[in-house]
Structure 1
Amino acid sequence: MYAHAKEVAEGMLGEANVKIASQNMGGEDFAFYAQKAAGAMFWIGVGNQTTMERVRPLHSPHFVMDESALPIGAAFHASVAIEYLNKNQWCAA
């Protein structure tokens, strides 16, 4: 699923605009979901160093996001699902 999501992102945004995040030891329950179904976690960049005074951490009470990224993020999520279904068609009997 990681390779699939990365391929979709690069097709939509261009390879230069897809960044691989460094590994970290943050806690996240998502791994338990991914044990049951294919999954990939990705971040949508919502910080804008040009128009925002300062980009704050996600859980900061001062967190503000550049909402112009939301349509791109929604389109990306939908494209990951649609392309996955197109490539992995199955027929329920």
Structure 2
Amino acid sequence: MSNSKVVIFDFKEEDYTSLSKELHLHVERVGRLLLGPNNVHEAKRVMAGEDFAFYQEVIPGMYYSIGIRNEKIGSIHTPHSPFFILSIGAALHTTVAELYLNKHNIK
């Protein structure tokens, strides 16, 4: 018999069930604002091994990927590439959060 304990995290402070589509549109709008409308694309869905889905069972969320792709100059890099531009990702994450919190008057 195991002595392990089950720990339950409750992230829910209110009902967030209607925010998934809203959050998707919010991230898309912010991305287009910061990066330009031609630089934001919806990716194909893939089967991946991420624990993030467990969080989304409690609070709907967004999973987006930031990479570099300029086929004209042969620069096609994924987020884990050493050529990845960290400042763009930091700016996008910060702006997504800040504008969302401001829109919903969350302090």
TM-score grouping bracket, smaller chain normalisation: 0.7 to 0.9
Work out which of the residue numbers 45, 63, 83 in structure 2 matches 1:66: 83
Deviations 1:65-85 (A, max 9, x none): 214x21010000000100000
Q: CA deviation at 1:89?
A: 0.7
Partner of 2:92: 76
- How many aligned residue pairs are there? 84
Gaps of 5+ in 1: none
TM-score if structure 2 supplies the norm length?
0.65
Larger Rg: 2
The whole-number CA distance in structure 1 between the counterparts of 2:97 and 2:52 is 17
Gaps of 5+ in 2: 1-22
Partner of 1:8: 30
Greater RCO between the two (CA within 8 Å, min separation 6)? 1
Deviations 1:14-45 (A, max 9, x none): 11100111011122211111222231001010
TM-score if structure 1 supplies the norm length?
0.73
Question: Runs ≥4 in structure 1, deviation > 4 angstroms?
Answer: 46-49
Q: CA deviation at 1:47?
A: 5.9
Q: Structure 1 9/66 Cα, relative in aligned 2: closer, same or farther at 3 Å?
A: same
Q: Does 1:89 align with 2:105?
A: yes
Q: Does 1:17 align with 2:33?
A: no
Higher-strand-fraction structure: 2
